[in-house]
Chain A
């Protein structure tokens, strides 16, 4: 869609008054057009003001939302951004205190995994082409592009039984992609969760789903010194509740 055409429809878009195909076309344009993006943001604020009245919330609505948080197991597994300025909030709700492993134990587990594994293989030129081919074959173009980007880092996660359990590529700007995975499919009600070790603490990077194939995430702030994966209940956990099944150090 041309700029003028998109610009003309921004006000209608801010009111959700465009057809679905128009919305897609406008949003695609807005992504690469700072002027339209600024205009749309301002219009969305006006639309927000227009609809900004509060009604008393129905009783029980929060309970419904809270209970569904842990039931959600979508096919899409977005990766929440890693926190940079984390405030001290009490994240441990009673329902989440089902861990069989303390925080300290989890950290120790991570450290132990590092000691046991010691097998961190960084990308080397000899297998670079093979990785690119694998990625292109699996249509993970973003991961393939990342493998060719300057300054990328490849992190191999190994388990006690297998080398290359999973492989990630990290870019200098914090974006990361799953390059390859040998992780077996999990039973219903479980998900793989990716963790980054920062300042000695495992911080959740995001959920990977029950059979990871394509995973994208962003790590902002401090770069983790280690990546690790645990199996968690669907919906994920605020801290690891199980031992790391695979891990790998991140080397510059």
Chain B
């Protein structure tokens, strides 16, 4: 019997397709912390982040064929699922709740930064530096969209800028980040 800890992510997903709970547990062990960490960061709520994490892994269990290894890593796939669900949750909250989250996130963000454990410190460091290296206007729109769950239309309204400008800044900022990460040798961001 092959050691499950040595199985590739793609092999694990194949086994999940055959109802292997052991394979799902291994995927959870490898990537659960990242899925939960991102949801918690976006939602600023442990309880809601747990709900999102459950949804992400149940979805992987029920629809493993949605993961296409030729299109990216399993972690990227799971993080995209986690982020989408976290953003959905934020957008379903009423305005009062959304304001509370925004206010709370200002104090919780630093606590997160102090407490979080980077899955790979060198990559986390590279990403942080790539983000910091962006022009302020590009970094700001990406942070508001990704970590605060705003659409580009909302970001434009909040910053009182044209939608086209915000779209362009998100696009140029993401491309700039990708180039920096590629230059730094971070795997999985090449086109």
B83 touches A18 (CB 8 A): no
A45 to B75: give the CA distance in the assembly, Å.
9
A27 to B146: give the CA distance in the assembly, Å.
19
A42-B170 contact in complex given A91-B19, A91-B22, C-beta closer than 8 Å: no
Q: How large is the interface on A (under 10, 10 to 19, 20 to 34, 35 or more residues)?
A: 35 or more
A54 touches B37 (CB 8 A): yes
A37 to B71: give the CA distance in the assembly, Å.
9
A47-B58 contact in complex given A61-B32, A62-B25, A91-B19, C-beta closer than 8 Å: no
B2 touches A88 (CB 8 A): yes
Instruction: Give the total of B residues in contact with A, Cβ under 8 Å.
Output: 82
Q: Which residues of B contact A53 (CB under 8 A)?
A: 34, 37-38, 41, 116-119, 124
Residue of B nearest to A42 (CB): B191
Query: Contact mask A52-89 → B, CB, 8 Å, 1/0?
Result: 11111110011011101100101000111111111111
A203 to B19: give the CA distance in the assembly, Å.
10
B83 touches A51 (CB 8 A): yes
**When the two chains form the complex, which single residue of B7, B40, B115, B177 contacts A46, counting CB atoms closer than 8 Å?**
B177
Kindly name the residue among B42, B150, B152 whose own CB sees the greatest number of chain A CB atoms within 10 A.
B152
A93 touches B21 (CB 8 A): yes
B18 touches A17 (CB 8 A): no
A205 to B40: give the CA distance in the assembly, Å.
35
Q: Which residues of B contact A14 (CB under 8 A)?
A: 80, 174
Is residue A164 within 8 Å, beta carbon to beta carbon, of the partner chain? no
A89-B142 contact in complex given A44-B76, A47-B79, C-beta closer than 8 Å: no
A83 to B19: give the CA distance in the assembly, Å.
11
Q: Which of A4-12, A109-117, A123-131, A134-142 interfaces with chain B?
A: A4-12
